[in-house]
Amino acid sequence: MDWSVILSDAIRSGIGPVAAVYALAAIGLNLHFGYTGLLNFGQVAFMLVGAYGVAASVSTYGLPLWVGVLIGLGSSVLLALLLGLPTLRLRAEYLAIATIAAGEILRLFYRSSWAEPVTGGVFGLQRFATEFYDISPIPRDTYGFWLVRFTSRDLWALSVAWAVVLLATALIALLVHSPWGRVIRSIREDEDAVRSLGKSVYAYKMQSLVLGGVLGSMAGMMLAIQNQSVNPDSYDPVVTFFLYTILVLGGAGRVFGPIVGSILFWALLTFFDSALREAIAAGYISPDVISAPEVGAVRFALVGLGLMLLMIFRPQGLLGSRKEMLLDAR
């Protein structure tokens, strides 16, 4: 087995642009779930509208990329309002039902033949981020350190993505330590106590839902730009559960939890994938036990087993506090 290849793949995945995208989306989900106690099972819906806001604006209507970014952000605000206005006055499960349903409804709508002239239907849209890569200051070459190497294109994408993640992290850190942050954390613990102090729980929940949704849409934009393509089927409910896995792994209600969780999640997932394929190729694992096409499923099973052990021995996550897990969402 070539351990240098295995480690290289794991590190590349752990610090790559996809890990940054999921970290950004998880930061938004952390604001919803970790700080406010909102059960949002449709963060992928915000990623979807953000991605298509950029892609359709540029590819279908020929607008500049920055206009597409504004449209994507506006779409996420509108979606948050549509989801929050009828549900945030009710119990937490109503928001959970509405968000997971919205994600699937939007995915099916975007892939429908009716929407195909704008969204590309099941084929999606491609090559709309040329403007983003044209402004890259990094000369065309291959760059790296130790075992890891990136093309100039990937290095530009991951640099921008991680820069956005750091800015979002700084913003959340400032907010949660402000009076506004203290209110939303109080809402997570006891809504009735917050109401008794004259605060509008509904308004604070709505603000949290909108801000977290905007961060999710920015993640969707970065994923679309990095891939230079969007397809509705890439934004299924599994993405949201990946984000919850990342959040639980890093620690809910912690500023750096989503970053640590995303890096570890993608590094471990790729490590198991590469290690299993190398072991099969070297003959250490018989194809009768695990064949190459089955590696994708086995790696998720191994990560799932690790998550189960984490929940048994450290349910608060790597950075979390056990008190953060004592959530009574209402």
Q: How far apart are CA 242 and CA 308, in angstroms?
A: 14
Place of tokens 């059960």: 39
Residue 324 has pLDDT above 60, yes or no: no
Residue 328 has pLDDT above 90, yes or no: no
Please count the other Cβ atoms lying within 10 Å of the Cβ belonging to residue 274.
22
Q: How far apart are CA 286 and CA 292, in angstroms?
A: 10
Q: How far apart are CA 11 and CA 144, in angstroms?
A: 11
Q: Percentage of the chain with pLDDT > 70? A: 97
**Mean pLDDT value across residues 257-267:** 94
Of the two residues 287 and 217, the one the predictor is more confident about is 217
Residue 326 has pLDDT above 60, yes or no: no
Residue 203 has pLDDT above 60, yes or no: yes
Provide the CATH number for the domain around residue 34.
Answer: 1.10.3470
Do the beta carbons of residue 299 and residue 273 sit within 8 Å? Answer: yes
Residue 287 pLDDT: 81
Query: By CB neighbour count within 10 A (0-12 exposed, 13-18 middle, 19+ buried), where does 301 fall?
Result: exposed
Q: How far is CA 273 from CA 81, 158, 245, in A?
A: 40, 22, 18
Sign of CA dihedral 102, 104, 105, 107: positive
Give the amino acid at 182: R
Do the beta carbons of residue 192 and residue 71 sit within 8 Å? Answer: no
Which residue range is the domain that position 133 belongs to? 3-326
Who contacts 321 (Cβ-Cβ below 8 Å, separation ≥6)?
A: 251, 253, 254
Question: What phi and psi, each to the nearest 5 degrees, are found at residue 61?
Answer: -105, -5
- Number of domains observed in the structure of the chain: 1
Query: By CB neighbour count within 10 A (0-12 exposed, 13-18 middle, 19+ buried), where does 83 fall?
Result: buried
pTM of the model: 0.93
Residue 318 pLDDT: 86
Place of tokens 């590309």: 120
Token pair of 28, please? 């938004």
**Mean pLDDT value across residues 147-174:** 93
What are the pLDDT digits (tens) for 227-250? 999 999 999 999 999 999 999 999
Of the two residues 284 and 210, the one the predictor is more confident about is 210
What are the pLDDT digits (tens) for 65-94? 999 999 999 999 999 999 999 988 887 788
Residue 325 has pLDDT above 70, yes or no: no
Reference 263, options 135, 179, 165, 178; nearest CA is 165
Residue 327 has pLDDT above 50, yes or no: no
Do the beta carbons of residue 44 and residue 239 sit within 8 Å? Answer: yes
